[in-house]
């Protein structure tokens, strides 16, 4: 059984691109392949100019990943965690410290920097997870169900960060099953279902398939159409 089949999309500079689909559709697998954690059986991908297979190390240096299940090292402080990962990305301690200052302003890291992560609230954890992902200022960042399990305040902080992050030379791939987040954040998106891309386009184009009832209605119609065509129950 294949988790993802015949999937292709492109994301441009300054864009937030959505991967929309139910749980188990293949979104996480797609991002894991694009992060070089899983090897594809076939196909090709280039991220920030780095070939997925030929330059996996260079590709990893050019991306940041945030997901809902990512944890932190309980016995290290926020600052120590950032210095640890900064070192792994080849950053010198002074450069890491300078970047921490900038991220402190942006994410309001506050005392998460001096406290050990074992005592963090979910919101504090998510701040350090995001800071860690963008510490090396990657041109591409993946968000995979990044707001799952967060309270409303922490969720809003993540969404605001995603809105602010893209600029010239930066791109975001935002994977979620929450339609409202895609509508709010993404310019374009593709709908993944049963490991296949069943639709893509701008949010307006996708929503139009819901005949005025929004993206969620469009999603269900597309999924039903796919199931009917392929003889599977929805």
Partner 1 sequence: MRPGIVARLARKEIVSTLRDTRAIISNLLIPLLLVPVMMLGLPLLLGGLLEREQVTTTAVGAVGLTNMPADLQAAFTAANLDLRSVTDATKAVQDGTVEVAIVVPDGFGSAIAAGGNAAIELVTKVGNMKSELSASKVQQAVSSYQRGVVGQRLEAAGLNAAVLTPVTITTVDASSQAERTSGQLSWLIPFFIAIWTLTGGQMTAVDATAGEKERGTLEVLLVAPVRRAEVVAGKFIATMLFGLSAASMAIIGFLVGSLVMQNVFVPRLGEQAEAIVGVMGGGLSVSFVAILLLLVSALLLAGFVSALLLGVGMFARSFKEAQSYIAPLSFVFVLPAVALQFKDLIGLSDAVYYVPVFNVLVLMDNVVRGTFTGDEVLITWAVMAVACLLLLRFALANFKRESVIFRN
* Residue 122 within binding range of partner 1, rule CB under 8 A: no
Q: How many residues bind partner 1 (CB under 8 A)?
A: 32
Q: Are 185 and 173 a contacting pair, CB within 8 Å?
A: no
| Non-local CB neighbours of 148 within 8 Å, separated by 6+ positions | 68, 69
User: Residues 41, 42, 71, 152: which binds partner 1 (CB under 8 A)?
Assistant: 71
Which span sits near partner 1 by CB under 8 A: 34-42, 92-100, 170-178, 196-204?
A: 34-42
* Residue 106 within binding range of partner 1, rule CB under 8 A: no
Looking at the Cβ atoms of 11 and 72, the one nearer to partner 1 is 72
Kindly list the distances between the CA atom of residue 61 and the CA atoms of 40, 93, 107, 197, in Å, as whole numbers in the listed order.
19, 17, 22, 27
* Residue 16 within binding range of partner 1, rule CB under 8 A: no
User: Residues 16, 35, 109, 113: which binds partner 1 (CB under 8 A)?
Assistant: 35
Task: Decide: helix, strand or coil at residue 105.
Answer: helix
Q: Are 188 and 17 a contacting pair, CB within 8 Å?
A: yes
* Residue 87 within binding range of partner 1, rule CB under 8 A: yes
The least distance separating partner 1 from the CB of residue 66, rounded to whole angstroms, comes to 9
Looking at the Cβ atoms of 83 and 188, the one nearer to partner 1 is 83
User: Which residues partner with 63 through β-bridges?
Assistant: 140
* Residue 84 within binding range of partner 1, rule CB under 8 A: yes
Tell me the Ramachandran region of residue 145: left when phi exceeds 0, alpha when psi lies from -120 to 50, beta otherwise.
left
Looking at the Cβ atoms of 129 and 172, the one nearer to partner 1 is 129
Looking at the Cβ atoms of 126 and 207, the one nearer to partner 1 is 126
User: Residues 42, 90, 105, 152: which binds partner 1 (CB under 8 A)?
Assistant: 90
* Residue 226 within binding range of partner 1, rule CB under 8 A: no
User: Which residues partner with 202 through β-bridges?
Assistant: 188
CA 169 to chain CA centroid, nearest Å: 17
What are residue 16's phi and psi, to 5 degrees?
-110, 115
Which span sits near partner 1 by CB under 8 A: 55-63, 101-109, 179-187, 221-229?
A: 55-63
User: Residues 5, 53, 88, 228: which binds partner 1 (CB under 8 A)?
Assistant: 88
* Residue 151 within binding range of partner 1, rule CB under 8 A: no
Of 9, 20, 31, the C-alpha closest to 142 is 31
Task: Determine the Cα angle at 72 with ends 142 and 64, to 5°.
Answer: 20
The number of residues making up the chain comes to 234
Q: Are 172 and 16 a contacting pair, CB within 8 Å?
A: yes
Binding site for partner 1 (CB under 8 A): 32, 35-39, 57-58, 60-61, 63, 65, 67, 69-76, 80, 84-85, 87-90, 116, 129, 132-133
């Amino acid at each position: 059984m294949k988790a993802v089949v015949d999937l292709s999309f492109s994301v441009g500079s300054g864009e937030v691109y959505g991967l929309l689909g139910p749980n188990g559709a293949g979104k996480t697998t797609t991002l894991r392949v694009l992060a070089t954690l899983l090897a594809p059986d076939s196909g090709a991908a280039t991220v920030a100019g780095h070939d997925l297979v030929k330059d996996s190390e260079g590709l990893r240096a050019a991306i940041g990943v945030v997901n809902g299940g990512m944890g932190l090292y309980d016995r290290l402080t926020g600052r120590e965690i950032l210095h640890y990962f900064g070192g792994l990305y080849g950053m010198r301690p002074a450069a890491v410290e300078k970047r921490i200052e900038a991220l402190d302003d942006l994410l309001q890291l506050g005392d998460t920097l001096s406290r050990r992560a074992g005592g963090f609230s979910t919101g504090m954890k998510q701040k350090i997870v995001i800071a860690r992902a963008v510490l090396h200022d990657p041109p591409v960042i993946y968000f995979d169900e990044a707001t799952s399990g967060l309270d409303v305040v922490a969720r809003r902080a993540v969404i605001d960060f995603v809105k602010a992050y893209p600029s010239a030379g930066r791109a975001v791939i935002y994977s979620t099953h929450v339609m409202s987040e895609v509508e709010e954040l993404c310019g374009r998106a593709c709908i993944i279902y049963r490991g296949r891309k069943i639709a893509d386009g701008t949010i307006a184009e996708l929503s139009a398939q819901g005949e005025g009832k929004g993206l969620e209605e469009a999603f269900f119609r597309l999924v039903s159409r796919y199931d009917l065509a392929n003889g599977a129950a929805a």
